[in-house]
Structure 1
Amino acid sequence: MVTIDTLNELEFFRGLPRSVLGTLADAASIVEPEHNALVARQHDRAIAMFLLLSGHVQFLIDVEGSGSLLVGVGREPGLIIGWSIFRPPYRYTTNVRCEGACRLLRIPHHIVDDLLANDPASGLTLLRRVNQSLAGRLEAERARLLETAGGQEAAPKRMPEPIVQTDLPWTPSSLQSSQVMVDFLNHSQLFEGLEPRMLDWLAHQAIVKTFAPNMELFRQHEIAEFLYLLVDGRVGMSYCDDGGARCVFLRALEGVGDPIGWSALVDPRRYRTSAFAIDVTHAVALPSDSLEKLCDQEPALGLQIMRRILQAIGSRLRFTRVRMVAQRYGAQIQAMRTIIDQAAESLPVTSPLHKIPYLLENRLTLSDAFHALELTREHGDPTERNLAELSLEVLQDVHRELDFYQGLQNAYEAVANAPANLSPEQVRTRSMQAFLALFEPLSWRTAGEDLLPEQPGNIVIMNHLENHMDTMLPNAFRLTLDSHFVSSVILYRCYGEAPVRVVRKPEMGWFGYQQYFDRLDYLYVYPGDVDEEDQDQALTRDSRNRRFIERAAQHLRSGKNLLIAPEGRCSSTEASPGTFRPGAFRLAAAVDPEPLIVPIAVANFDKRLTETTTAAIVFEPFRLSERVRDPNDKAALLDFVDQLQRNYQGYVRQAISLAGRGEKIKARA
């Protein structure tokens, strides 16, 4: 039997009238589920609320194909379970399992429903405590997210482009009118549909504030003096541990009327995150004391507002759990399925969001997935808009992959579809500009650019790395990213002119490569028995070599850099460099005046570039005659080449070390 004294022992019920406590006690019961028994099942109808009296409970969410993911543990007496009875669609959002022996107080939902309908003041007291309890659980799960995220991520890697809204009637200046402010408040999630007299009272309490980029709206743990409603711009939210040493970026808010800082209405009325302006941002600030006063004086209205605060906290909790799924499994498709599953009861069956996981499965349909999400974010119903925004934030890394892939395609198209009237030099320039745009948002480091000769006309040598599978385009063409990085980010940015690469003659059947190289007017070398085009059948190896040296010398004398990888084969960063061949150095010996040789070592271009830091280091230039007394002495030349290869092993280790520092430093302009 449950008595009034039993309820009074729990903070959740303190301060309620004795008559209300009597009604609740009569309907309540004590339950003691068996070990591992489910107290609530995800998606089941929320038929009761529970308060933990003793024991531990686990909160788990179902993840398709991976079982259940633990998102939280509850131990404190009085913990509320089943808060879904207070808000539609009245379905449990997680599985709640007893961890060992548990004792719980159970209250049927219809008793709570009657209380909210017939005694708004008491209902408001309960709902405030529900919000406080759920906010505490949200904070615990954010701390768990921070643990799994690791490191410092106070700002996002990438955010969706802002929604462009040009037809809204509210501007910072127009909101100085109380009537316009009333209209704005009526549009917001928290205050939509309130009585005009209430909106008018709130309008006279409101203040319009302006925030410059990176300016804080508030800081975590500060007293929550204001609740903000977004007018325009974007606001980023971050959560840090108690010492502030580790932070995780949570999300960006940009919807007109979005509530920011709901902690102003939730005890202990201290901000639970930090908020900062991403762009120039305007927000309506409502004093928390005024809002508390309004809720106390108008409990039915307060109950309505507190339900909406509960919706906002629940939305943040769902987002945190989806982030956990994405981090735990490293699979964004799973995270998307979880997002949809979490909203199964409220998401229309015709929603375009249902097709997103399928579009994400194929690289060629990624852009379709993001197009559908962006359209839904702008034009869907409230549930769809919220889920689309959540999805775009969860899929930031996927969007970076899409941006990279589209950048590869643009770089290829800049050459393959260049107008026929452009010269090879103009096409090479187009290529460099496309690759600069490709590399700009990635993480990379360079060093030693001050060692580059003042004038071009040099032989630049580099180690050559394998292509990652992600560089393969739909036509099976792969772009070598290490050589294009050196060409664009280092040489083109320094000299304002694209280098001419020396490449292996494509094998028979690699017609796409030859057309691409021909358009750039690269210089060919002919390893092995690679067949020539029909018109070159009569050429001997010696005549090919003479023609190569003549063309290369012409480029060098005209002030063009040549880029050559002396290796016979490309390799992984860890195994680089491969065996050096003497051809580049024989070329240097054959050209008059003798060119400088500029060594550059690269690392990590064989990895997935959106998930790693790459590096390139320029080393001291030299002339071959400074290292080999007689370049025509074959044995002496080969000894030098072997020694240089051994030196390059150390060069590559230095590049690996530079990349390991992980911060992007741009090459000089």
Structure 2
Amino acid sequence: MTELSNYFMSLECELESLEAFDFIQKEIYFDAGETVVSQLERAKFLYFLIEGEVSLSIKLKDEPENLKVGLSSSKFTPIGWSGFKEPYRYATSTTAVTNIKLISIEFENLALTFEKYPNLGTLFLKFVVSKSSILLYETRKMLAQLVPVSQQSFLQLNPFDSIDDNHNPDLDEGLKRSPFFEVFNEDELDFFKSLGILTQVKTGEKYFRQEENADQISFLISGRLALIHAEDKLNQKLDKRIVNNEGYIITIDAFTESETYFDTCVALQSTWVWSINSAKLRANLLQSPALAIKFYKRLLWYTSVSLRSARARLIRVQYDGEISAVKHIIEQHASQLDVLSKIHKIPTLLNHTITINDAFVSLEKLKVNGTSLEKRLANSSLSILSEVLRENDFYNGLAKIYSSIVNAPEVFFPNEVRSLCAESFYSLFEKTGYNLKGIENLPEEPAIYIYNHLENHPYNTLPNSFQLTLDSHFISSVILFKKFQNPGIRVVRVPKGEEYGHQLYYERLGHIPVYTQDSQQLNETDQEKKNRRNEFYITAEEYLNNGTSILLAPEGRSYTTDQSPGEFKAGAFILASKLPKEPLIVPIAVANFDKRLNRTQFSAVIKEPFRLSDRIENVNDREEMNTFLSDLRNSFQNYVKEAQELTNESSWTKML
């Protein structure tokens, strides 16, 4: 007998069924580098790895090389198990890394054997489920290690209370919406319902913990749960997913090889869970082998769907693009979709910031009204695109703010427009899950706030080619406006002639204009330059005397977070020295405002204020000023690193 047959002999299978099972098996060998199965090829054989190591990969359209999605040297790793379900084609390509030994079984022969020996069929499918789940968990481990916590958003994991927290859930409706149960008839569904129990999980409560013994299969009936896997003790390597669709599976870990929970499950709002004890379910399924086979095939279906979703997220990480991942997952099911299905349009709609919103509207409609397959693909796509959705909401928020400012009523004074702008930005930033430290360092008196100015990511460029500076608006709104109900006034560069968007926006806000190397060049005399500087000092003094703080960046231009801060110029400090009443200078270090929101969290650190006279004796001494500027820049470099490190201090990870 083969090694696979010997394994089932240890399970005390009937000799007759075991001999029939052994008869349909064949031992085969592949040399290193040979292809065992090819992606999308019709699945005729199921294979099990006996010796050696294999590599699993997927082919992506428009990519020259296959993406490696897994390695396995685990004995009895199943290869080609996607052949158990439609469209009966291999989901990945499998290649021998070393010389390998396999057992092959023709799917047609398996079906005939299961029909004659259903008890063997149940044991076999249970075995394949336990082995195939290893591939899923290995992929999720890869994701946890590839995406550091600093590049993950935990905003969607914030627990919240719902006005419907105490409502009684409709179990029948929840199970009807479950994709898992859609293949079972009414009598079969009643069988499962008779075995299950409903449990309420309160907001913030852990339903189960990673590595605990798993003893149930469970489904979400109402509410919202987070499943988080930690790959290290410090909780810095995490993979997370949200379950918020009624009837969707929470865990099948009780049917995996380890029978332990892979994740920690936490309720993000009051949640109702329906579960069946796994031992009880197995015992009852023994009385109905045909239903047992149907059940385990459905577990295989769920594992396959979950694995495809995890691999799609892997594509997103490897190719830095959720759109590629969604495109791939739709292409994988193209042969099963109607050619007129609106889901075919999704990748195209996602390619442009102006049409991304249309893609989300279509996906939400398909999630509710689509076919069974369209619903699953829409849900998978929305899960992959969760950060893109957040980023798209942010982009739309920027566009709305710009429009509200340039179209503000003419009767509004500039200070009223600045307050309107700060209030709008405050509301927008509150949805991003930013990090802020040092609020206690804000002085009660108006001051000069200096910050390292960061570039804007091209993604946030508005249709008129204008970019709203995020770091300065963050300081104005989240820090100053929230604390003092006064956003302060910025020192902004005079735009070039062709920068209409820039001019319209900042003129309406009434900020203090200054000429920089990036401005339209002036042809003026030395006296005219001196007069212009004196006017600037007078204007700044008036604002400070009236209780309005001044924001400016000493660098005079913007940089990336990794390059920041640039070389400091003396202008901000000469301003402080020219004022009759010496103001406090408040350093604020900002980080990550130059990056896409779906890859980071914005951060800022407010440091202790100082007066220039405490740091420098003679501002007119060029050598002394240069030393001061160099020292301050060095300090700012550490401040920026401190701001960057805040992204690693997620309060959520401490809850695990």
Calculate the TM-score normalised by the size of structure 2: 0.86
Matched, 1:320 2:310: yes
1:274 equivalent among 247, 250, 264: 264
Structure-to-structure mapping, 1:375-524, within 5 angstroms: 375-442=365-432, 446=436, 448-456=438-446, 458-524=447-513
Q: How do residues 455-604 of structure 1 correspond to structure 2 at under 5 angstroms?
A: 455-456=445-446, 458-526=447-515, 544=532, 547-570=535-558, 574=563, 576-578=565-567, 580-582=569-571, 585=574, 589=578, 591-592=579-580, 594-604=581-591
| Aligned residues of 2:438 and 2:607 also touching (Cα < 8 A) | yes
Q: Is the 8 A contact 1:61 1:94 kept in 2?
A: yes
CA pair 199-429 structure 1, distance change in 2 beyond 3 A: same
Alignment CA distance shift 1:306-1:461 (3 Å): closer
Structure 1 residue 183: Cα displacement = 6.4
Deviations 1:216-271 (A, max 9, x none): 22223333332222111122222234868565334212222112222334555433
**Is 2:312 the partner of 1:329?**
no
Residue 637 of structure 2 is aligned with which of 646, 650, 653?
653
Higher Rg: 1
Distance 1:618 1:242, change over 3 A: closer
Q: 1:77/1:381 Cα in 2 relative to 1: closer, same or farther (>3 Å)? A: same
Instruction: For residue 349 of structure 1, report the CA deviation from its aligned partner.
Output: 2.8
User: Which letter does structure 2 place at the counterpart of 1:44?
Assistant: E
Distance 2:153 2:458 in 1: 29
Alpha carbons 2:129, 2:255 under 8 Å: kept: no
Q: Identify the residue that residue 117 of structure 1 maps to in structure 2.
A: 115
Equivalent position of 2:168 in the other structure: 173
- For 2:653, the equivalent position in structure 1 comes to none
Residue identity matched to 1:203:
K
Percent of aligned pairs sharing the same letter: 27
Per-residue deviation, residues 19-55 of structure 1 (Å, max 9, x unmatched): 3333334443332234422222211221122233333
Distance in 2 between the 1:507 and 1:85 partners?
63
| 1:323 CA drift (Å) | 2.1
Match of 1:87 among 61, 85, 88: 85
SS in 2 for 1:217: strand
Give the distance between the partners of 1:293 and 1:401, measured in 2 at CA: 48
What amino acid does structure 1 have at the position aligned with 2:92? T
Deviates more, 1:303-312 or 1:363-372: 363-372
Q: Distance in 1 between matches of 2:382 and 2:207?
A: 23
SS at match of 1:415: helix
Tell me how far 1:289 sits from its aligned partner. 2.7
Q: TM-score, normalised by structure 1?
A: 0.84
Aligned CA distance change for structure 1 residues 121 and 422 (closer, same or farther; 3 Å): same
Match of 1:519, as an amino acid? R
Gaps of 5+ in 2: 651-656
Structure 1 residues 318 and 515 mapped into 2: Cα distance closer, same or farther (>3 Å)? closer
What is aligned with 1:350? 340
Q: Contact (CA 8 Å) 1:158, 1:400: kept in 2 or not? A: no
User: What letter matches 2:368 in structure 1?
Assistant: E
- Helix, strand or coil at the partner of 1:282: strand
Q: 1:342 to 1:491 in 2, by over 3 A?
A: same
Local SS of the residue matching 2:69 = strand
Q: Which residue is 1:68 aligned to?
A: 66
Structure 1 residues 34, 640: CA separation in 2 closer, same or farther (over 3 Å shift)? closer
Q: In 1, are the aligned partners of 2:82 and 2:304 still within 8 Å (CA)?
A: no
SS at match of 1:408: helix
The 5-angstrom pairing of residues 246-265 of structure 1 reads 247-265=237-255
The equivalent of 2:654 in structure 1 is none
Matched with 2:140 is 142
> Of 301, 307, 331, which aligns to 2:291?
301
Q: Secondary structure at the match of 1:78?
A: coil
1:60-115: per-residue Cα shift (whole Å, max 9, x none)?
22223042222223334433322233222221111122233333222222111223
Runs of 4+ that moved beyond 6 A: 152-155, 159-162
Q: Determine the C-alpha separation between the residues in 1 that align with 2:471 and 2:591.
A: 9
The answer to which structure, 1 or 2, has the higher relative contact order (CA under 8 A, 6+ apart) is 2
SS in 2 for 1:100: coil
Higher mean displacement: 607-616 or 648-657: 607-616
Q: Secondary structure at the match of 2:241?
A: strand
Size of the aligned set, in residue pairs, is: 642
